[in-house]
Structure 1
């Protein structure tokens, strides 16, 4: 497993894919970290390559990841970003191994955003075209592909690829707290690293409005809050009803979320990758029986409507978000019903065990192909 941007214990890469593959294979994750280290966790070997403090030195991270790849003996390089795929291609041909590309995002829109290039500008369009062309060319050199959703897979299907869909469904058989009789008015908003597109500001404004009717409402931000957002929260006089947990380990995250009465997922569709997103946190809320207040975006809408597990809102409208929160508090029985629906949908349909079966079967096919070639 090779990632150049995700942390070593990422929810999708480590908790789901690597631990699932470790049931049948020896698995090593190479990932960037603030400090380089080696170790084993949950049957998975973790090699953390030290990343520089500045993002401008990202090529140094790539070089260190490439060196780590060459130092390890493996049969398959499973890559999670376009630059990781480039490293995987080089390692594949230097060492004669197989290559898997795992497509988490719509990278032609994600990479310009990450670089601070404004959406819709000539520079953004040019870089988007370049990223797409290079990514497709490198993907032709992979033996197999995965995609996080049908929307993300669409661009590849148009070019003749058939990615296996591995959605960010929750691990339903975890021993996690579940309380069907929720009390209180504690809203949850979760993100690994909170950015402006997570709608934190909109949610704070909405909660302020709701407090006029329900003064005991609180908002818990589960995850790291970026400095520019943290300054706004800390200076607003709202700290009494807004708390931030910082990064939490996997189980601690679930324990904190279980204290909530509803989950907020108000992605702002500021660029294309956000518009088609289907994030882990939606299914995590559902697994815990939290009714969701979610952005009315294509992939999210399909799940929420099918499961009847929450309320869809215009994420740009503070009034829409506030009205949805108020409805949840005004109708506690309906909120419990939606939460129960969401949990049942995860247990029956949106659970990782279904994805694990497809992941393992794809790797069995790779093993068969490798044996045939030998």
Structure 2
């Protein structure tokens, strides 16, 4: 088949879309095109990247202008199956369906729940907008050939709209984060040195616990020499200046945006990985990719004590769960890992073993390929 993946929001090198889904379908023998805004035409991992030039300067312009450009290019590609990744492309998906095309909606986030916490939407309007979004997804999903969801929680809603709805978890690739390109001897010497490292790599937001992480590392430094390795981009940009004024910033090594190779290197040299999202409704039922990436790299995790996450961490004995708003509890968890290096190594091995046995993309990709065979 000729398969076309569409986005108006994500990047050309998006891990879930390009590196996992598109590449898996290409390896299964399909011709795969990925349409993405403001990217150069190229071939990556055997997938054709087709860029559309967008000058949209805000969300509204993107939702109108960029989506139109994506649709025009989609029509030019004349694919057999269209697989889109953004809720703002739902009208485009319906247009493609009206032309007799096979269409798959890939739901990365619970849109109605997400809207309820969007600061750019006026508070009094959020509930009405969320209800409208839910109605649109229900109407459209009944007409699409399939719906792919990132979590079982999201799938519970969509399977009531479309029988051909299934969860494809965003688990890590088995070999991607194992060891990195840092020699194991070098990584071990770093971990055994007086200065310890805890790491967070990902989107840097208030709700993802950036202030609590900085404060906990500051507290741990009363007893240990600990560096907080922070990688990613701040949102909003003003948050960077805000957190740099915190007294604990002196213990932070801000790395900025990291490519995948740099992510490997950082994880291979760290003593523990932090994933401390606040207890927002959409986070509590999520499967955070960072948790599984830390596990894949053989790194002990310190994670929010949401029931879903606790089940994973405790069952696999791969880390410690804490109240993400409790600085003292987070600090004690970091200290526990630093004070018990043999136990930390065991946690890391347990996490890696769990990824090898269950939480890996290779198993998920089989289900994605089966879905395409089913709707063809």
* Both structures adopt the same fold (TM-score exceeding 0.5): yes
Separation (CA, whole Å) in 1 of partners of 2:162 and 2:51: 35
- After superposition, give the CA deviation of every residue in 1:154-188 in whole Å (9 maximum; x if it has no partner): 11234453522211111003374265954351111
**Aligned-pair Cα RMSD in Å:** 1.9
Instruction: Look up the match of 1:264.
Output: 274
Q: Distance in 2 between matches of 1:29 and 1:249?
A: 20
The match for 1:70 is 75
Structure 2 SS opposite 1:37: coil
* 1:141 alignment counterpart: 143
**Where do 1:215-230 residues align within 5 Å?**
216-226=225-235, 227-230=237-240
Residues 107 and 39 of structure 1: is their aligned pair in 2 closer, same or farther, counting only changes over 3 Å?
same
Q: CA deviation at 1:20?
A: 0.4
**TM-score of the aligned structures, taking structure 2 as reference length:** 0.90
2:200 corresponds to: 189
Match of 2:90 in 1: 85
CA-CA distance at 1:105 after TM superposition: 0.8
* Alignment-derived partner of residue 361 in structure 2: 352
Counterpart check, 1:39 vs 2:42: yes
Number of matched pairs: 359
The runs of 5 or more residues in structure 2 that have no matched partner are none
Matching of residue 171 in structure 1 with residue 173 in structure 2: yes
In structure 2, distance between residues paired with 1:176 and 1:345: 13
Distance 1:114 1:63, change over 3 A: farther
Moved more, 161-170 or 174-183: 174-183
CA distance 1:12–1:228, shift in 2 (3 Å): same
User: Normalization by structure 1: what TM-score?
Assistant: 0.90
5 Å-filtered alignment, 1:3-22, equals 3-22=7-26
Partners of 1:112 and 1:68 lie apart in 2 by 33
For the Cα contact (< 8 Å) 2:198–2:272, is it kept in 1? yes
1:98-128 Cα deviation digits (max 9, x unpaired): 011111111112134345347xx54222111
Name the CA shift for 1:82/1:56 in 2 (closer, same or farther; >3 Å): closer
Pairing of 1:1-374 with structure 2 (within 5 A):
1-23=5-27, 24-32=29-37, 35-51=38-54, 52-58=56-62, 59-94=64-99, 96-114=100-118, 116-117=120-121, 122-159=124-161, 161-174=163-176, 176-177=178-179, 179=184, 181=188, 182-183=191-192, 184-191=195-202, 193-214=203-224, 216-226=225-235, 227-236=237-246, 238-270=248-280, 272-367=281-376
Residue 60 of structure 1 deviates from its aligned partner by: 1.7
Distance 1:196 1:210 in 2: 21
Question: 1:176·1:251 contact (CA, 8 Å) conserved in 2?
Answer: no
User: Can you give the 5+ residue segments of structure 1 that lack an aligned partner in the other structure?
Assistant: 368-374
